């Protein structure tokens, strides 16, 4: 069973990367920005850390495409 929906698989690779970035980057930044004070970090730095973590799904997508 595939983890990604069939309509997502039908998109071109470039569209898949853009869709992942549009979805995960704002979520990662917002989560990092809001959670940073809990860890004693400035909020903007937490947002940057969140962006780094949010790039993980895009990296996994690129790795999956490279293995095809």
The answer to whether the CB of 33 falls within 8 A of the CB of 46 is yes
Q: Grade residue 2 by pLDDT with cuts at 50, 70 and 90.
A: low
Angle at 18 between CA 12 and CA 24, to 5 degrees: 130
pLDDT digits (tens, 9 = 90+) for 13-64: 999 999 999 999 999 999 999 999 999 999 999 999 999 999 999 999 899 8
- By the 8 A CB rule, do 66 and 59 touch? no
Cα 25 to Cα 12: distance, rounded to the nearest angstrom = 20
């Amino acid at each position: 069973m595939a983890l990604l929906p069939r309509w997502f698989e039908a998109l071109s690779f470039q569209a898949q990367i853009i869709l992942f970035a549009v979805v995960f980057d704002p979520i990662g930044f917002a989560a990092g920005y809001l959670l940073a004070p809990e860890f004693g970090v400035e909020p903007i730095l937490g947002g940057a850390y969140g962006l780094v973590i949010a790039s993980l799904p895009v990296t996994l997508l690129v790795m999956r495409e490279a293995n095809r």
